[in-house]
Chains A and B, each alone.
Chain A
């Protein structure tokens, strides 16, 4: 029966998808939950009682601090991202295109490398405070970042991009005739903005706020390097694990997960609730030419300064990577520049090893992401079955879970033999890192594939079937080639993110198999800034290449799939 044949196909495609999700997403999470209920050999809630009633209040304080920093991060990112989106999408002035591109540059900075750049720029012995000190002949550096302000500045710098991209997309979809209609009905410019434009932007603003809140709850690299004594929850999990307090680490993980998944559900609910679809389509937003010559150049000048500030971290990494280690010790500014660090990177096997490790690990993880992503996305978008929204949520969970939690889940699930690891203990072996990277990037690849599959009209598949092609032939010759550009751009992005992945690496790496991010941390500890920066430059170049390739050859804005 034809209906059964179709059902059978759906079923066979679903088996691997469900198996992978249950084994590597659901099971590890449950394992952590189970661990958190364990105390003195029995199952109790006492760990949770301790969390909330502990005398020193460290845990509660950490939770509170995380929330506090996240709220401030949302505000700061919004205050930068929303005006930028408005200015770049609404006004035409010299250099606009260039500035608009520069505005997404923070994405090209892997989190650990970014934090490192900020330390060198604005930290205690940072270049900028010292420059100001020397210029004005001060005795002390006038300012420095660290602790809460440091974390916040790094967050604002990296996370305003989410506001910028989401609000820009919303503005692009606003039909200019709506605003023209409002003016035509007598509304002033101010009224038009508050009554028409702003309400149409709200869904994007709310979406970006939830997203930034979630990401900064999960943030690990910035607190790791900048927090000093300041406690945040994601970092506490790491410390608990290092101290061997596994039950506490599990409890903290569960609590952080609950907050994050809560936000995921909130976001889904909000997005389904409010969707202003425009009746008209295909009209890009008008940009008004800035006529006043003074205004025009003021805006351009502000733009140039903005771009310099945005790109300063990138240049700092570049600059540092050119300073050979040992030549910059007591002086305020470096004096020697050459390619020594890069030469060592490619010639000294010990220094090359982490780079090679990271590339190998990322290739394995990403190959898995590609295969899994295409099958999962095809089943989710094009097939009907019961329990679809459950699978959908399972797919999205690794996106909502903080990386630290994913790392801990894997520790709990695979530090013992289990059927899902084919009876092996994975923790402490080579395979645990590719597995972690794979899980981390499931949502990214599935989502970017969903986006192209949803565009693909069902009749294309039907046309092929009615011309006599079997399902598998249709899939290989028609569907795959059409969706490949979108799939590849998502996969490449997952690849570069895997290369730079820090939070799960720090929980799971082995000495013989340490990836690039761990080596950066080691080099920083040994004050080999140049070598650390050289690793960073490699990552920046890789990410920039991927975005460029996606844009030029696949015609896909890969950075979109990050939001």
Chain B
């Protein structure tokens, strides 16, 4: 087991820079996830850790050891490939035994260890099967067993569930977590599925265009995104371009650009709600507020950040109701629990409340993520 340090790593393929200025520290035994849209550099980073790519700049360490130039076979990482990469000419047992044979583990011990791991992934019945005769989920577990049996210091998983159907994904998710907890192995998990990332990880790194935007626990990432990309990529969010109109020690007043600055929001001036040092007149910002934080009222309740608008669309989901309301030019999404009080109608006048505690003012980093 080992911690991993990635220091100032860059990886370029010709002119394309796939990963840039990456600094990460992954703790011993942690379940760490790389999350981001397609092509953002997750696989590239993972392969630099496995040793298949060599960083253009920077250092990769396991513990304190510099691993940057160590070939893959000397790294003792277990990797589960997206397409599993099972050896088609070998049985389930032989696939799982491969790493041990390379390490010249004696016969009796090898047999025991392989049987143990196959039992752990619940494949002990299948050890003599040809891998081509297994279902997708079973193949996936062979790949896991093969990686785990060598007792790797680090387990690397590249979108291991993306080929499975929804039900199997759920099953395999808990399977992976169970095995990870059991072996207490440092694990890096690559995915572009945010639900998967939020539900499984100890910590998450969010990538876009080769840059890591934020590292944090699932609740950090969801509740305190550091910029508009993270806020927009993880979960739903109302992201509204804004400008600082006024501010003091306690409060900020921001004008929404879409309403020609007519609509002003009050925001708490503390590090949780405001990222970075702002001054009056700053633009290039967005306010972010989750739909579930917004409440829609039938009558004017008065108070801070309550605006009159009209309902444009209503979607009924059973336990929740989505309401889109327009205030001046600004369209807001609200997501409310269905309290049985009857739905809103399109065209109806409503009062929309944006609680100041839930509004965050963030820097804009991505032109196209909105």
Q: What residues of chain A have their CB less than 8 Å away from a CB belonging to chain B?
A: 1-3, 5, 457, 459-460, 462-470, 473, 477-478, 481-482
Chain A contacts for B77, CB-based, 8 A = 466
Q: How far is the CA of A206 from the CA of B97 in the complex (A)?
A: 50
- Of A2, A457, A466, chain B has the most CB atoms within 10 Å of the CB of A466
Residue in A closest to B103 when the chains form the complex, CB atoms: A468
CB pair B87 A482 closer than 8 Å: yes
Beyond A457-B85, A463-B79, is A469–B98 a contact (Cβ under 8 Å)? yes
A464, closest chain B residue (CB): B98
Are B85 and A463 in touch, CB under 8 angstroms?
yes
Name the residue of chain B whose CB is nearest to the CB of A459: B85
B interface, CB within 8 angstroms of A: 50-52, 54, 69-79, 81-83, 85-89, 98-99, 102-103, 146-147, 150, 156
* Given contact pairs A465-B73, A466-B75, A467-B102, A459 touches B81 in the complex (Cβ within 8 A): yes
Knowing A2-B54, A467-B150, A469-B98, the reply to whether A462 touches B87 (Cβ < 8 A) is no
Q: Chain A residues with Cβ under 8 A from B51's Cβ?
A: 2, 465-466
Which listed residue (B73, B87, B88) contacts A466, Cβ 8 A?
Answer: B73
A2-B54, A462-B52, A482-B88 are contacts. A469–B73 as well, Cβ < 8 Å?
A: yes
- 17 pairs, A vs B, C-beta closer than 8 Å: A1-B69, A2-B54, A2-B69, A2-B70, A3-B54, A457-B83, A457-B85, A459-B85, A460-B88, A462-B52, A463-B146, A466-B78, A467-B102, A467-B150, A468-B74, A468-B102, A482-B88
Contact assessment for A466 and B69 in the assembled complex, using a CB-CB cutoff below 8 Å: no
Knowing A5-B71, A467-B98, say if A462 contacts B79 (CB, 8 Å).
yes
Q: Chain B contacts of A466 at CB under 8 A?
A: 50-52, 72-73, 75, 77-79, 156
**Chain A binding surface SS class:** helix
Q: Give which listed residue, B75, B79, B102, contacts A469 with CB less than 8 A.
A: B102
In the bound complex, CA of A5 to CA of B52 (Å): 12
A462's partner among B76, B85, B147 (CB-CB below 8 A) is B85
How far is A465 from B72 in the complex, measured between Cα atoms in Å?
6
CB distance from B80 to the nearest CB of A (A): 9
A473 touches B71 (CB 8 A): no
Minimum CB–CB distance from B166 to chain A (whole Å) comes to 23
Q: Which of A459, A467, A473, A481 has the most CB of B within 10 A?
A: A467
Q: How far is the CA of A467 from the CA of B149 in the complex (A)?
A: 10
Give me the 7 closest cross-chain CB pairs, A-B, nearest first.
A467-B99, A459-B85, A463-B85, A465-B72, A466-B79, A459-B81, A469-B102
Chain A residues near B83: list those with CB within 8 A.
457, 459
Complex interface: chain B residues within 8 A of A482 (CB): 87-89
B71 touches A465 (CB 8 A): yes
6 additional contacts (CB under 8 A) given A462-B81, A465-B72, A468-B102: A5-B71, A460-B87, A466-B50, A466-B75, A467-B102, A467-B147
List B contacts of A457 (CB < 8 A). 83, 85
Instruction: Check B102–A478 contact: CB distance below 8 A.
Output: no
Question: Closest CB-CB distance, B152 to chain A, in whole Å?
Answer: 9
Distance of A463 Cα from B76 Cα, bound (Å): 12
- Cβ of B108 to closest chain A Cβ, rounded Å: 20
Question: In the docked arrangement, what's the CA distance between A470 and B89, Å?
Answer: 19
Report whether A468 and B87 are in contact in the complex, using a CB–CB cutoff of 8 Å. no
Which residues of B have CB within 8 Å of A465?
51-52, 71-73
Nearest CB in chain B to that of A470: its residue: B73
Q: Which residue on chain A has the smallest CB distance to residue B89?
A: A481
CB distance from A9 to the nearest CB of B (A): 11
Contact B70 A473 (CB under 8 A): no
Contact B146 A467 (CB under 8 A): yes
Interface centre among A1, A457, A465, A478 (most CB of B within 10 A): A465
Distance, CA A13 to CA B275, complexed state (A): 56
| B189–chain A nearest beta-carbon distance, Å | 16
Q: Which residues of B contact A460 (CB under 8 A)?
A: 85, 87-88
- B72 and A462 form a contact (CB under 8 A): yes
Residue with the greatest number of chain A CB neighbours at <10 A, chosen from B71, B82, B86: B71
Q: Provide the residues of chain A in CB contact with B81, threshold 8 Å.
A: 459, 462-463
* Residue contact B72 to A473, C-beta cutoff 8 Å: no
